[in-house]
């Protein structure tokens, strides 16, 4: 009897230990995936999914070895402690983000980061599921996951007069109302359409995974940014020599917008580089903005191709009919700016071709300065910048509709439409049956990755007006019914319909990446006293000032006409026994431009 009681006690103890272990393991909603710190408590639409796939820990106030999400039901508000935590994570190369945030919260958050609070909520949304920022080697990356509850696609159910088939536009005759009935003698054959799939629902787990992939994709993102800057650097260095060689090409801004809807993946990334040209042949300085717009577009989760069943037609649905991109520069009052100049836009229009390239090439005369993290400089020779992204995409028509006309004014917008062929029938004719379909073109039903590239130049009279650029992204899906045959004659033609469409508008600020109006390179000296010429790049009257008495300048001011003479920097012998640095501050006299130059002197 006592032995039996002891056994019962052991069983109870074992159960209690097991329950405690389970409770401890489940604390914080840990899903056993990538580590994620949280300040506050996640409460948005994706909270459960993020808890499921991440190893979630309440922030301990010490570590910064994983991404951080700040989530407060009463809204984000900054304080000294939060600001210090955010800076700590960014300095460690980790992403910091807000969950379930509105426009005001995001801009307060950006101000806390020391960035300009200039976020504009995309059209149709009052909040986003996630807004994140990370800084990698000085390059700034941001990620926006829109909510898919507020701005819903439009159901079209259109029967268009023309469709794309291969490289041709093909007319569609208006068919008689289904269900057609065909009679021959005593025999009757009737056809009908199957019902369409119900409206797709959001895949919130997939959306959460996209966020986590971005938060933990720093190695790939940093490499892609470095490769992009390297292509610019190589082009510039090929035209530069000596002290004119640029030491830092550009700070790149990368903004990614995830506008996934109805379980379709729509992710658009915009990379922005900026530079300023000095002392051009026409004696007019200009800003250049190089833009690369990349899509990760995938409707495969909803696509289906169902064969016919006797006299019920085949149906193929949720393939993409077209994607569209339209980009235009805006002023600070949000008015369209058509005084900027669209220099080149790629890819070109291609019809009946299975490949296209979005490569661009520009030649810049005069000195060029790219906005950088420390010293930037100019080069006096001509510069060619080129990059290329080539793709082979069968059954895709590319229409470059840039520089369209409105009210007899040539627009300076960069615009493209990608249109896919409709599915093709297979089989037939039959005694009394319907065709099936070949699959829709691969790019219309799976991952499609278009790359649009262009450059705008902004003259000195427009520089103070522009704020950024806006772009619209549009998609449209389709569905098709196969043909029907009776006595080997096609009695009911195939039908191609437009199903659903959506157009969203986004804003990309350029105010944080405006290139410098005056620039020069860093200088290095040995221990010995000496002097070097500091090459200036500017087309405005200017001033210069050194921070240290051991580093003197041959002149402290000049005009745009004599800027190409530069400044001689003189350093005394370094007898301190340690390396030392001075800072030269350059400013334009109109107060609109400034930059700094680092002067390093070795102890050896």
Closest by Cα among 473, 501, 502, 331 to 415: 473
Query: Quick one: which of 281, 224, 286 has its CA closest to 461?
Result: 286
Q: Name every residue whose Cβ is closer than 8 Å to that of residue 455 and which is 6 or more positions away in sequence.
A: 288, 289, 290, 291, 342, 343, 344, 360, 362
Question: What are the distances in angstroms from CA 127 to CA 141, 147, 148, 270?
Answer: 20, 7, 10, 21
- Radius of gyration (C-alpha) of the chain in whole angstroms: 31
498: pLDDT strictly greater than 90: yes
Go through the chain and tell me how many residues it has: 604
Dump pLDDT digits (tens) for 58-109.
998 888 999 999 998 887 777 788 888 999 999 999 999 999 999 999 999 9
Given a contact cutoff of 8 angstroms between Cβ atoms, the answer to whether 447 and 296 are in contact is yes
- The predicted pLDDT at position 239 comes to 38
Q: Does domain 518-601 have CATH number 2.60.40.10?
A: yes
How big is the CA angle at 107 (ends 105 and 113), to the nearest 5 degrees? 105
Instruction: Tell me, rounded to whole angstroms, the distance of Cα 357 from its chain centroid.
Output: 19
Three-state DSSP class for residue 105: helix
Q: Which tokens in the block code for residue 240? A: 């530069």
What is the mean pLDDT of the segment spanning 451-475? 90
64-67's contacts with Cβ under 8 Å and 24+ in sequence apart are 64/88, 64/89, 64/91, 64/92, 64/94, 65/35, 65/92, 65/94, 66/34, 66/35, 66/36, 66/37, 66/94, 67/34, 67/35, 67/36, 67/37, 67/94, 67/95, 67/96, 67/97, 67/132, 67/215, 67/216
Decide if pLDDT at 347 tops 80: yes
The domain segmentation of the chain, as residue ranges, is 25-146, 154-207+221-513, 518-601
Task: Give me 238's structure tokens.
Answer: 């090929």
Check residues 247 and 133 and name the one with the higher pLDDT.
133
CA distances from 453 to 89, 127, 456, 506, 574 (A): 33, 29, 10, 17, 49
Lowest mean pLDDT of 196-200, 418-422, 574-578, name the range: 196-200
DSSP for 139-208 reads EEEEEEEE-SSSSPPEEEEE--SEEEETTEEEE-PPPPPSPPEEEETTEEEE-BPPPPPPPP---HHHHH
Say if residue 195 is exposed, middle or buried (CB neighbours under 10 Å; 0-12, 13-18, 19+).
exposed
HEC sequence for 381-419: CCEEEEECCEEECCCEEEEECCCCEECCEECCCEEEEEE
Which pair of structure tokens corresponds to residue 579?
Answer: 């390396």
Of the ranges 141-150, 195-204, 484-493, which is most confident?
141-150
DSSP-assigned letter for residue 33:
S
| Residue 310 pLDDT grade (very low, low, confident, very high; cuts 50, 70, 90) | confident
Q: Which residues contact 8 (CB under 8 A, 6 or more apart)?
A: none
Q: What angle do CA 196, 421, 494 make, to 5 degrees?
A: 50
- What is the C-alpha to C-alpha distance for residues 80 and 88, in angstroms, rounded to an integer? 12
Q: CA 591, CA 602: separation in Å to the nearest integer? A: 33
The confidence band for 170, taking pLDDT boundaries of 50, 70 and 90, is confident
- Please answer whether residues 401 and 410 qualify as being in contact, where contact means their C-beta atoms are separated by less than 8 angstroms: no
Residues 99 and 116 sit within 8 Å (Cβ to Cβ): no
pLDDT for the residue numbered 105: 93
* pLDDT at res. 78: 75
Q: Is the dihedral of CA 567, 544, 461, 246 positive or negative?
A: positive
Q: Is 306 left (phi over 0), alpha (psi -120 to 50) or beta?
A: beta
What mean pLDDT is reported for the chain? 80
pLDDT at 496: 92
Chosen CATH of 154-207+221-513 out of 3.30.70, 1.10.287, 3.30.310, 2.70.240:
2.70.240
Chain-centroid distance, C-alpha 400: 20
- Mean pLDDT (whole number) for 128-153: 90
Taking 60 as the threshold, does the pLDDT of residue 320 lie above it? yes
For residue 379, pLDDT beyond 90: no
CA distances from 330 to 5, 32, 400, 408 (A): 81, 45, 21, 19
Separation between Cα atoms, residue 131 and residue 128, nearest integer Å: 7
The 3-state DSSP class for residue 268 equals strand
Contact 602, 579 (CB under 8 A): yes
Considering the entire predicted model, what is its pTM?
Answer: 0.80
Q: How confident is the model at residue 174, as a pLDDT? A: 64
Instruction: Say what the pLDDT of residue 251 is.
Output: 61
Output the pLDDT for position 375.
Answer: 25
Higher pLDDT, 589 or 376: 589
The average pLDDT across 39-60 equals 91
- 3-state SS track over 500-551: EEEEEEEEEECHHHCCCCEEECCEEECCCCEEEEECCEECCCEEEEECCCCE
The pLDDT value recorded for residue 384 is 39
- Least confident piece of the model among 262-276, 279-293, 333-347, 366-380: 366-380
pLDDT given for residue 4 in this prediction: 45
């Amino acid at each position: 009897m006592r032995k039996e009681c002891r056994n019962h006690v052991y069983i109870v103890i074992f159960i209690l230990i097991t329950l405690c272990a389970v409770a401890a393991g489940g604390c914080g909603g840990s899903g056993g995936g990538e580590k994620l710190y949280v300040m506050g408590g996640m409460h948005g639409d994706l909270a459960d999914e993020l808890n499921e796939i991440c190893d979630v820990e309440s922030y301990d106030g010490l570590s910064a070895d994983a991404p951080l999400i700040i989530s407060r039901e009463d809204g984000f508000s900054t304080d000294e402690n939060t600001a210090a935590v955010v800076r700590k994570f960014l300095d460690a190369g980790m992403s910091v983000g807000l969950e379930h945030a509105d426009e005001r919260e995001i801009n307060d958050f950006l101000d806390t980061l020391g960035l300009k609070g200039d976020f504009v909520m995309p059209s149709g949304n009052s909040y986003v599921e996630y807004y994140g920022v990370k800084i990698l080697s000085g390059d700034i990356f941001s990620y926006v996951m829109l909510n898919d509850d507020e701005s819903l696609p439009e159901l079209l159910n259109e029967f268009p007069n023309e469709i794309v088939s291969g490289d041709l536009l093909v007319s569609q005759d208006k068919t008689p109302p289904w269900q057609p009935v065909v009679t021959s003698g005593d025999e009757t054959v009737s056809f009908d359409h199957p019902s369409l799939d119900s409206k797709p629902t959001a895949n919130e787990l997939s959306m959460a995974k996209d966020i986590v992939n971005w938060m933990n994709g720093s190695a790939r993102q940093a490499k892609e940014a470095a490769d992009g800057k390297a292509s610019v650097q190589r082009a510039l260095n090929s035209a530069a020599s000596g002290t004119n060689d640029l030491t830092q090409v550009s700070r790149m801004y990368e903004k990614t917008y995830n506008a996934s809807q109805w379980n379709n993946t729509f992710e658009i990334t915009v990379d922005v580089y900026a530079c300023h040209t000095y002392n051009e042949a026409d004696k007019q300085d200009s800003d250049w903005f190089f833009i690369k717009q990349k899509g990760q577009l995938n409707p495969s989760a909803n696509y289906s191709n169902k064969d016919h069943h006797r006299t019920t037609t085949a149906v193929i649905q949720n393939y993409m009919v077209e994607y569209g991109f339209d980009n235009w520069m805006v002023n600070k009052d949000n008015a369209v700016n058509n005084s900027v100049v669209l220099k080149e836009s790629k890819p070109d229009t291609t019809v009946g071709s299975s490949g296209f390239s979005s490569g661009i090439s520009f030649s810049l005369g005069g000195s060029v300065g790219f906005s950088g993290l420390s010293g930037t400089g100019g080069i006096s020779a001509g510069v060619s910048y080129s990059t290329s992204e080539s793709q082979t995409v069968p059954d895709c028509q590319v229409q470059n509709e840039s520089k369209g006309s409105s009210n007899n004014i040539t627009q300076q917008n960069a615009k493209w439409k990608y249109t896919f062929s409709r599915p093709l029938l297979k089989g037939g004719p039959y005694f009394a049956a319907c065709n099936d379909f070949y699959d829709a073109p691969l790019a219309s039903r799976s991952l499609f990755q278009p790359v649009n590239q262009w450059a705008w130049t902004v003259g000195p009279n427009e520089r103070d007006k522009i704020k950024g650029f806006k772009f619209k992204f549009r998609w449209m899906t389709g569905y098709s019914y196969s043909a029907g045959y009776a006595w080997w004659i096609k009695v009911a033609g195939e039908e191609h319909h437009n199903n659903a469409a959506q157009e969203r508008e986004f804003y990309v600020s350029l105010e944080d990446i405006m290139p410098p109006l005056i620039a020069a390179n860093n200088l290095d000296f040995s221990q010995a006293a000496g002097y070097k010429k500091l090459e200036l790049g500017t087309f405005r009257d200017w001033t210069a000032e050194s921070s240290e008495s051991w580093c003197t300048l041959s002149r402290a001011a000049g005009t745009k006409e004599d800027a190409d003479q530069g400044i001689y920097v003189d350093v005394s012998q370094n007898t301190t026994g340690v390396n030392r640095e001075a800072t030269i501050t350059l400013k334009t006299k109109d107060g609109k431009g400034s930059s700094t130059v680092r002067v390093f002197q070795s102890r050896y």
